Amino acid sequence: MDYKAPIINLNEEPLYNKEKIKSILPHRHPFLFLDEIREIGEDFIVGTKFVKKEEEYFKGHFPAEPVMPGVLQLETMAQAGGILILSSVENPQDYLTFFMKIDNAKFRKKVIPGDLLVFRLDLISPIRRGLCHMHGKGFVNNQIVAEADFLAQIAKK
């Protein structure tokens, strides 16, 4: 798996904006963290999160030195993974994705307001019987800030 940060052009329209993401994922404010999908293939996806100082969690984590919680970095990464999984089925709005396991989570650098988090998730193995195993990485300024392995399941609503 590639350790290089995905290259994105912010002057180009994303493949999926927040509204398109909401047509696939059931998440809503304040729990929809993913902002855009920039690239999607059969076995990978690239998404972005614009980390803004107005985010609700910064009021308490930590007021004097705001840091995006690692668990929310993983949730944002998982939301991108959910789009990858749901893109493999017809009528994705009729399905939900449930994460069953997160392994090997690592946080390498702080994520702070003003950062652009770029996520890339790659399938570790093909999606079988509604199960998806993937590896994700989060980058800020082309450096890895977080990574983890995810196991998820697709379920009909």
Tokens (6 digits) for 25:
């994922």
Domains of the chain and CATH, by start: 18-156 (3.10.129.10)
Active-site amino acid positions: 61
The vertex-47 CA angle with 42 and 49, nearest 5°, equals 170
Tokens (6 digits) for 72:
């929310």
pLDDT digits (tens, 9 = 90+) for 87-125: 999 999 899 999 999 999 999 999 999 999 999 999 999
Q: What are phi and psi of 125, to 5 degrees?
A: -145, 160
* pLDDT value of residue 2: 61
- Spell out, as residue ranges, where the chain has pLDDT lower than 70: 1-2
**DSSP secondary structure string for all residues of the chain:** ---SPPP--TTSPPSB-HHHHHTT----TTS----EEEEE-SSEEEEEEE--TT-GGGGTS-TTS----HHHHHHHHHHHHHHHHHTTSSSGGGEEEEEEEEEEEEE-S---TT-EEEEEEEESS--BTTEEEEEEEEEETTEEEEEEEEEEEEEE-
| pTM listed for this prediction | 0.96
Tokens (6 digits) for 12:
């180009």
